[in-house]
Structure 1
Amino acid sequence: MSDADRLARNFADLVQDDHEGRTGIRLETRALAHAQHALDLQAVGQASTRVRHRLYYLAAAFTGTALWAAVEAQEPQRAQKHLNKAMTLAGMAGSSEMQMRLWGHASLLALQQQRMHDALAAAEAGRRAHVCRSDAFYRSLASARLAGILSAMGEKTAALRTLDHAEKTYDRADMGEQRPAWMSFYDRAELNGLAALVMGRIGRHDEAEARLHRTLALLRPDFHRNRAYYTIHLALAQLAQGEGDQAVNTALPLLSKGSATPLAGRSQSLLHQFDRDLRKLSPGAGFVIEWQDRLAEGEKEL
């Protein structure tokens, strides 16, 4: 059990590294190495059933982090491989909570590949997990994720109804209850961020902007990756309302040399989307030229 406790502390450290933006292939590789260590411990000495279940849980947790890193980097083949292994390990651990986490990652992976019905099925499976019936906090997260998938599919009414359920369920959750390290990201800031994505997808860009301002105001200082991600979404929401100059002012700090987190994966893709949309909205405008110059400088440095 002392070995398992040490691995659990290492898992919490990896989760924090992800929040702070130290993601990518390095995080993925470290997570897989820890997962293998947890499995290797199964073959060492005598251990109780309780310890063995915990080791399988930790192996699933680390593999899930590798899965998340691959999804974040938009590497679908590696992500799918990690997902398959992690689901097997979570089943061996008998952990509904870990399965719920993995279904959330699976829905995002399917969404990236435009496999919309698979994304919906995964999000629904996450919300059906037993842990969502026993803990409103998990059900709120699963419902917010499901609302995001429904909005991406154009199911406006169902998305808003599901988002409303997520927010009401969040208010009923016991915030003092002890939960695993991977759930530490879910708070009022993240709920507003997920709600903003729903609003943006159904065309309510003013509401998306308001939600994103709330997210960035509430977001914890060490959550550098999420701050960059939601800042780009804020710029996109402003752009969608025709506020090109304001959108550029929002996005420009992400290109500065002193930026806390180098943009990669999903955030970098969003930045390129922003660049394309900006040039369509205001070709030749002074703020567009300034943006393109700064973007070119940043790409040269990379």
Structure 2
Amino acid sequence: MAETRNASLAAWMAARQMSAAELADAVNGAIAGFTGRLGTTSERTVFRWLSGESRWPQERQRRGLEIVTGLPATALGLLPRGRFRPVPALEDADVRRRQFLGAVGTAVAATPLPLASARPSRVGTGDVIRLRDDVERLVAVDAERGGNGLEQAALDGAAEALRLQQQSATQRVRRGLFSLASDFTATAAWSLIDAGRLDGADRHLDRALTLAGLAQDSEMTMQVWNFRAMLARQRRDYAQAVASAQAAQATGIARRSPLHASLAHARTAVGLAHGKDARAALRCLGRAEDALAKADLREPRSTWIAFYGPAELYSLAAIVRDVAGHPGPAEAAAHHALAALPEGYRRNRAHTTARLALAQLHQGDVEEACATGTTVFSIMAGTPLPGRLQQLLGDFQRELITHAPSARATRAWIDRHQTEWSSL
């Protein structure tokens, strides 16, 4: 998008990959919802808002814009001429995540996440925006407590997107809804993968890949292959993990975007390391680091890959280096990951902490490893441990017993682990 004087509105549109024509269409649909007649907002109207030529839209357009974005007009950089313009109030992802989690509270752990229900009668870009916000809510809960329990909410979102797709009149909106259906369905698969319930994930991923094809969306295709690589690794099918990660590398988005390429190379490195090809794994890890160095981390990105950046790459590097037989560099990478990890990613913090404990154990630091491993329970206090994390802690205990079966720290860890396990 070209440079604009209204950076707040431009940032909101860029974060949702929305063109001026699409925003105009969404605003007109919102106006129809409260007046019964489509609005007359045009692509040129939106360009005037972006350029600052029109600082205060007419009342119907302001109201429609606020319905579409969920934000007051002033937070979008719009204000009558001559008045003081406040600092833009657009919230970053962490702020939105904390507000959502605070509002939902503990009830979300036991009930499906509610999806948006208020919709205008005309299916259009506004529906795509609302469903995209629902995906963001699911991702926020996953980052905080893990994906367990989100499967049904995600499948409900996919069903809604497909229902609306049948009513849509434009090809652009239909593709957007197919893409969202793919995103929701992949999220349902991820819920099972993170919970350690692997049997049903294949079916969801097959469906998500088909929907991504119907949407002609290479980014959703990459998301599916990324999850397939993770699923295969949990099944210890490392050849398939590598093949899936390489399929992610071959997607159009990975060829265009250094950020996506970095994740695909890192996922390949993890599969190769577990497959006992340490040299190839370290080469792939180097490619992932080189690609990430070329990525502009300030650019808006899709919700599913919002987690990826220096912290996640350090975390994956800790896995690769430890499995490749280099626990010292693995420990250093895990420390770097924890230092860089955003506050809201509690599940990721617990997982990386468990990897740190393994790296310490592999260096013979039994007491330190046990102390580190114990902090995982504190990090996840009040939330059931996701299945993947339970599996990782089980691996840690088995290796602990192998390395130091009679150590006092080992006995203390086993007692704590059994106590925590009995409370799940």
Name the TM-score, length of structure 1 as normaliser: 0.95
Q: Which stretch shows the higher mean deviation, 85-94 or 147-156?
A: 147-156
Distance 1:224 1:130, change over 3 A: same
* 1:264-283 alignment runs, 5 A limit: 264-283=386-405
Q: Which amino acid in the other structure matches residue 145 of structure 1? A: R
* Residue 34, structure 1, aligned to residue 157, structure 2: yes
Which residue pairs with 1:113 in the alignment? 235
- In 2: Cα distance, 1:282 partner to 1:266 partner: 24
1:3 to 110, 127, 131: 127
Residue 150 of structure 2 aligns to a residue in which SS? helix
How far did 1:261 drift? 4.1
Partner of residue 13, structure 1: 137
Distance 2:284 2:264 in 1: 10
Between the aligned partners of 2:160 and 2:327, the Cα distance in structure 1 is 46
1:134 CA displacement: 1.1
CA distance in structure 1 between the partners assigned to 2:403 and 2:356 by the alignment: 16
CA distance in 1: counterparts of 2:228 and 2:295, whole angstroms:
25
Aligned to 2:178: 56
Write the distance in 2 (CA, Å) between the matches of 1:125 and 1:201.
Answer: 23
Tell me, what secondary structure is at the counterpart of 2:191? helix
- Structure 2 counterpart of 1:16, which letter? A
Secondary structure of the residue that 2:145 maps to in structure 1?
coil
* Counterpart Cα distance in 2 of 1:93 and 1:258: 37
Could you tell me which runs of 5 or more consecutive residues in structure 1 were left unpaired when the two chains were aligned.
none
SS in 1 for 2:398: helix
Q: Deviations over 1:83-127 (max 9, x none)?
A: 110000000000111111110111111222232322221111100
Partner SS, residue 284 of structure 1: coil
Residue identity in the other structure for 1:23: G
Aligned mates of 2:150, 2:187 — CA distance in 1: 8
Which stretches in structure 2 are left out of the alignment for 5+ residues? 1-124
Paired position in structure 1 for 2:247? 125
Q: Is the 8 A contact 1:144 1:162 kept in 2?
A: yes
Going from structure 1 to structure 2, the CA distance change for 1:207 and 1:82 (only over 3 Å counts) comes to same
CA distance in 2, matches of 1:193, 1:295: 23
Residue of 280, 295, 316 corresponding to 1:173: 295
Quickly say closer, same or farther: Cα 1:93–1:249, change in 2 above 3 A.
Answer: same
Q: Residues 272-300 of structure 1: CA distance to partner in whole angstroms, max 9, x if unpaired? A: 11111112222232212221222222223
Q: Which residue of 1 aligns with 2:329?
A: 207
- Distance, in Å, in 1 between the alignment partners of 2:419 and 2:206 is 40
The secondary structure found in structure 1 opposite 2:166 is coil
Q: 2 CA distance for matches of 1:138 and 1:257?
A: 29
Structure 1 residues 71 and 300 mapped into 2: Cα distance closer, same or farther (>3 Å)?
Answer: closer
**Pair 251,8 (structure 1): closer, same or farther in 2 beyond 3 Å:** same
Which whole-Å CA distance do the structure 2 matches of 1:287 and 1:187 have between them? 35
Q: Which amino acid aligns with 1:201?
A: V
Matches of 1:65 and 1:32, distance apart in 2:
8
Residue 225 (structure 1) aligns with: 347
Alignment of 1:243-282 (within 5 A): 243-256=365-378, 259=381, 261-282=383-404
Q: CA deviation at 1:257?
A: 9.2
Query: Percent identity of the aligned residues?
Result: 40
TM-score (norm 2): 0.69
From the two aligned structures, give the one with the greater helix fraction: 1
What is the aligned residue count? 300
Distance 1:276 1:156 in 2: 23
Q: Distance in 2 between matches of 1:247 and 1:118?
A: 31
Give the superposition deviation at 1:176. Answer: 2.6
How many Å separate the matches in 1 of 2:141 and 2:320? 27
Question: Which of 309, 320, 325 is residue 187 of structure 1 equivalent to?
Answer: 309
CA distance in 2, matches of 1:230, 1:78: 26
Which amino acid in structure 2 is aligned with residue 36 of structure 1? A
The runs of at least 4 aligned residues of structure 1 exceeding 4 Å deviation read none
Q: Displacement, 1:23?
A: 2.0
The DSSP-based 3-state class of the residue aligned with 1:77 is coil
